[in-house]
Structure 1
Amino acid sequence: MPGAVSRDRRHFLTASAAVLGASASAQLWLPGTARAAETPLPEGVFSLGVASGDPLPDGVVLWTRLAPDPLNGGGMPDRTVPVDWEISEDARFRKALRRGTAPARPEYGHSVHVDVRGLRPDRVYWYRFRAGGRLSPTGRTRTAPPASRAGGSLRLALASCQNWQNGHFTPYADMLGQDPDVVLFVGDYIYESAPSATAVRRHEGTGEPYTLVQYRNRYAQYRGDPHLAAMHAHAPWVVTFDDHEVDNDFAGEIPQDPGKQTHDAFVARLTAAYQAYYEHMPVRASAVPDGPHIRMYRRLDFGRLARLNVLDTRQFRSDQATGQQGAQDPSLTMLGAEQRDWLLRGLRHSPARWNVVASQIMMAETDLRIGEGKLWYYDAWDGYQAERNALMTEFATVRNPVVLSGDRHLTMISDLKADFADPESDVVGAEFVGTSISSGGDQDQTAFHAEWDPRIPDNPHWKFIDARRGYHLFDIRRDGIDAQVRVTETVLRPDAPSGSAARLRVEAGKPGVRLV
């Protein structure tokens, strides 16, 4: 995609994420007095902001949710409310390109998902909503390049794991300034933990969320972070969930603590959690939940430069192994047969220069035991080694595979090996495990390195590890991917500075990653 916007325009866009958009001359956007039949809505009805997602060459999803009382169920009347939307080629809406009206239904928390089509590829657009005489903040988005384009560039930001209680979402302030074309979020958008009296910022409610209203309130609280809201309003997001959007370490329909949650109770919790997730994410109607099931794995192409395969590593997995023998059981699956076949087809027949896999959890091996023997982290791909190893065999035949992951609250950047049991086996790809936005808080770096540096000799595929909060930034071009590990000084302050902790490079046609 084309280069960054100018400094003046970026300043305007940052401000526009927090203020109302400029009025257009069309009658659709006249004040409420010009539309007497319209039922007024309270101030703050757009308190959760706006967002866009899943860009296509000719379209994008626009999102908002009406919620004047966001932490108490939303505060909307129990009726469908018409919401006008508009998308324009300029920030002042002088060239309105598409307009329409979408229903905000109470059964979906008065959320709105507009799948706009008929747009031009590789273009920046501005959008906004209007309901009950109220105007939303202005959002900015962009479409994907045309399917035939082989060159160009793509700037992608990788984020995950934002725990409200552990700190402010400070890294998004730096991300906004870096102006990515798209944000990839690979899980743990909210945390389901109960409020803590010692937290940096206390969770709403009185305990963990189980019901739909409780999950809605938790999402609404997170959406209230100003840096997160500004980043959503600035660029399209591609999202998938991990475990904390439901329940820590769940697998399929098995909770973390089956002795405390019956199957029926957990299915009800899944149903509530998936619906709340859909209500708050800029995703298409294909993701409308069907009870305790939601379709999240999908594929997005950015011309012939990059194919993004977004996985769901929670919903179809076997229950976690509890030992080494179980981790090597060939019957265990992370993806399920249908998703695995879908992924392999997409990789084998990809026209893209770069084949990117968004995996919520780490794919490379983590050997926790220092010296002889192995000790694995079973909630990650190490707990599903037969399927992981078969995927590594496929990677050896795929053009430029790169995996982008989260979950660990650490930066762990690795070569992907054909056989992690054999350090001399071929390198078949690269993996970037992004650190967290805030989860884990400000870790003691001396203590981290004292614990983890002795494990490096047992994990020679690791190229860089770090425990600071932040995100990863990728500039993808035909000849290679230039990556930055962007970290913030602290998440105890929303205004803390950020910078680059490391720069890495993946060369096209040469599997693996190296420090620059």
Structure 2
Amino acid sequence: MFGRSLRLACIASSLITKWNAYVFLRLLPSGPKYLSTIYTAAIIYIISFLLNRTAAFPKRSPKSKIVDAFISLIGGSYSSRYPLFSWLGAFITLLAPLCCLDFVYRTHLLLPESDLHFSRVGWVTNGTANLLIRKPDLKDLVLSYGPVSDERTTIQLPPASFDSDYTIPIQLENLLPDTVYHYQLNGNITGSFTTRRNHNALDKFTILSSSCLEPGWPYNPLDHPLAVKGFTHLDTIVKKMDKKPEAMLFLGDFIYSDLPAPASDYTTSYYRELYRQVYASPSWTPLLRSIPWIHMFDDHEIINDFSPDSSLESTRMFENAMEPYISYQGSVNPPPLNPSQPTYFSHEMGKVSFFILDNRSYRSTPAKRPGSNSTAGYGERSMLGQQQLKAVKDWIELQGRKEGRLLVLVSGVPVTRNWSEGRDELDSWAGYLDEREIILGELWSIGGAVIISGDRHEHATTLLPPPKDSAYPYSSAVIEFSTSPLSFFHLPWTREYVAHPPTDLPIHHQWKGDSRFGVFDFDTSGEQPQVHFELIVDGEKEWEYDWVKGKSVDIPAII
């Protein structure tokens, strides 16, 4: 009886270890949820396997011997009759927790990328370009740049400083519009960018949008641990375009400080390392580096579901995370609207005006969800803070009244409340519905607008129409395209997106796939601005949609 109990414990702990490791490494990399189970089961397995070696085995029939061999190999239990199968089964079982350790700690221990040299393109206009350069080993930095056929301009750069992790933001001025420029720094950092067409010629253009990436996902010990498959898909799609996108809007979670599991304390040094690792990825191509990337941060640049509070721990964590974000991302974004609150900004491309929200720095603590199937986001809570909300309203009033103008509000978290079945529903705008109503009312008043968002590792296109008893026609509805992740997990078995008519009407929902981004083709050449949207999933076009400002939208019968 004791021997049978040992064998059952050995088999059960082996299967638990391997199944949970598979989920953690390939489906849902949530360390806090799985790692303790994996490690505990692995320890139980080792003890039961070793004790199992001393247990006596009764005589077996030929058929039972086959079963015994199978259990030894698959279940990981010990059999004196089949020691080779037993030890092979044990090796497979113990390989699972070792792979988990490798996934969590290999890059932290072996690839901190302290000596990383790289450059990237930030905000670009028809006459200026922002570049970010990191080169920690030289003091005399000389940058030369110019069109291919013209003489190069040479400038001396300030020395790189440890205070910014040796990153240097540069703004190049007095550039020619619609021109390809090449640049070179001290002979071994090179790159290119294309300046924008003049304002009156920019009636048709393309941008990309997504959020959320993690190098090395899904885990494969044979792949480079910093490879980003989403970059490969992005590069493939851009190569097929007739003209390069004007920008890539990346809406947060460029790094994950807490997933698959934190590999260090949440220090400034740790956050810097995570940015370096993404920029050290071999998946970056010269084409991707030549696209202007515009960034906003979200919670995982700090910690999951972050909202500021008055505690010393929260303040210190936010400060530790923001310096690396500013150094690697924000320093080459468009200029801020408010120098005292530098993390939100607006910019224009032709007749399209964008406002990129900071959804984290100024938010009130979200409400607690009282139970399932409920939305508890009403009350005097603010996602944006007083000054940012006023800036959004001023932007809508100023830009929205201009003839032929299209407004695009860019939010790191979804504006729709249709992701209502998850535990973090109220982390999105569903937790701030009164303030959401204020902003939607302003957008309805100008005849409608587009919202671009990310965060949820799914895609949903959702219509947000005005109430039937409002002063605004149905055709002034706002449409939201929420798309992510660029390269990370999707939820394999939980569906959280549920319609909330009549306020939040689903047009399309897609959840399968570990890479997802949107391609937006804007056209303001006619009387009514319009947007053609394409959803790219794992490198293939999954869905497309056309939206015209002021035109009523037919809702599919999926609600």
- TM-score, normalized by the shorter chain, greater than 0.5: yes
Aligned partners of 1:397, 1:457: CA distance in 2, in Å? 21
Aligned partners of 2:423, 2:268: CA distance in 1, in Å? 38
Establish whether residue 359 from structure 1 lines up as the match of residue 423 from structure 2. Answer: no
Establish whether residue 215 from structure 1 lines up as the match of residue 256 from structure 2. Answer: no
Cα 1:163–1:211 change in 2 (3 A) is same
Establish whether residue 321 from structure 1 lines up as the match of residue 321 from structure 2. Answer: no
Q: CA deviation at 1:512?
A: 5.2
Give the TM-score normalised by structure 1. Answer: 0.72
* Partner SS state of residue 145, structure 2: strand
Residues 180 and 195 of structure 2 are in contact (CA less than 8 Å); yes or no, is this contact kept in structure 1? yes
Q: CA deviation at 1:404?
A: 0.6
Which of residues 505, 511, 522 in structure 2 aligns to 1:461? 505
Cα 1:247–1:477 change in 2 (3 A) is same
Cα 1:456–1:282 change in 2 (3 A) is closer
Establish whether residue 62 from structure 1 lines up as the match of residue 113 from structure 2. Answer: no
Matches within 5 A, 1:145-156: 145-147=197-199, 149=200, 151-156=202-207
* Partner SS state of residue 158, structure 1: strand
Cα 1:413–1:228 change in 2 (3 A) is farther
Cα 1:213–1:126 change in 2 (3 A) is same
Residues 334 and 345 of structure 2 are in contact (CA less than 8 Å); yes or no, is this contact kept in structure 1? no
Letter in 2 for 1:348: E
Q: CA deviation at 1:419?
A: 4.4
Cα 1:453–1:362 change in 2 (3 A) is closer
Aligned partners of 2:375, 2:458: CA distance in 1, in Å? 27
* Partner SS state of residue 435, structure 2: helix
Aligned partners of 2:428, 2:277: CA distance in 1, in Å? 29
Unpaired runs of 5+ in structure 2? 1-112, 219-226, 239-243
* Partner SS state of residue 294, structure 2: strand
Q: CA deviation at 1:166?
A: 3.3
Letter in 1 for 2:428: A
Residues 506 and 513 of structure 1 are in contact (CA less than 8 Å); yes or no, is this contact kept in structure 2? no
Q: CA deviation at 1:435?
A: 1.9
Aligned partners of 1:161, 1:322: CA distance in 2, in Å? 25
* Partner SS state of residue 300, structure 1: strand
Letter in 1 for 2:342: R
Q: CA deviation at 1:96?
A: 1.9
Establish whether residue 275 from structure 1 lines up as the match of residue 323 from structure 2. Answer: yes
Residues 287 and 294 of structure 1 are in contact (CA less than 8 Å); yes or no, is this contact kept in structure 2? no
- Report how many residues are paired: 413
Residues 245 and 291 of structure 2 are in contact (CA less than 8 Å); yes or no, is this contact kept in structure 1? yes
Cα 1:407–1:325 change in 2 (3 A) is closer
Letter in 2 for 1:277: Y
Cα 1:112–1:280 change in 2 (3 A) is same
Residues 66 and 104 of structure 1 are in contact (CA less than 8 Å); yes or no, is this contact kept in structure 2? yes
Establish whether residue 166 from structure 1 lines up as the match of residue 217 from structure 2. Answer: yes
- The residue aligned with 2:487 is 438
Residues 312 and 360 of structure 1 are in contact (CA less than 8 Å); yes or no, is this contact kept in structure 2? yes
* Partner SS state of residue 431, structure 1: strand
Unpaired runs of 5+ in structure 1? 1-43, 68-75, 197-205, 255-262, 489-497
Q: Which has the higher contact order (CA 8 A, sep 6+)?
A: 1
Which segment is superposed worse, 318-327 or 179-188?
318-327
- The residue aligned with 1:501 is 542
* Partner SS state of residue 158, structure 2: strand
- The residue aligned with 1:377 is 425
Establish whether residue 334 from structure 1 lines up as the match of residue 383 from structure 2. Answer: yes
Matches within 5 A, 1:480-491: 480-488=530-538
Aligned partners of 1:472, 1:245: CA distance in 2, in Å? 22
Establish whether residue 116 from structure 1 lines up as the match of residue 172 from structure 2. Answer: yes
Letter in 1 for 2:412: Q
Establish whether residue 183 from structure 1 lines up as the match of residue 183 from structure 2. Answer: no
1:289-344 deviations in Å (ceiling 9; x for gaps): x9xx96210111112x2111111010011011113685110x21111111111111
* Partner SS state of residue 312, structure 2: helix
Matches within 5 A, 1:129-148: 129-130=185-186, 135-136=188-189, 138-147=190-199
Letter in 2 for 1:129: L
- The residue aligned with 1:248 is 304
Aligned partners of 1:53, 1:511: CA distance in 2, in Å? 36
* Partner SS state of residue 300, structure 2: coil
- The residue aligned with 1:201 is none
- Kindly indicate which of the two structures has a greater share of residues assigned to strand: 1
Which of residues 313, 316, 325 in structure 2 aligns to 1:265? 313
Q: CA deviation at 1:83?
A: 2.0
Letter in 2 for 1:484: E
Aligned partners of 1:476, 1:222: CA distance in 2, in Å? 30
* Partner SS state of residue 426, structure 2: coil
Matches within 5 A, 1:13-92: 47-67=116-136, 81-90=139-148
Letter in 2 for 1:128: Q
Q: CA deviation at 1:283?
A: 2.7
Q: CA deviation at 1:252?
A: 2.5
Q: CA deviation at 1:128?
A: 2.7
1:480-499 deviations in Å (ceiling 9; x for gaps): 211110111xxxxxxxxx21
Aligned partners of 1:510, 1:411: CA distance in 2, in Å? 23
Identical residues among aligned pairs (%): 20
Residues 194 and 208 of structure 1 are in contact (CA less than 8 Å); yes or no, is this contact kept in structure 2? no
Cα 1:252–1:282 change in 2 (3 A) is closer
Which of residues 231, 234, 238 in structure 1 aligns to 2:294? 238
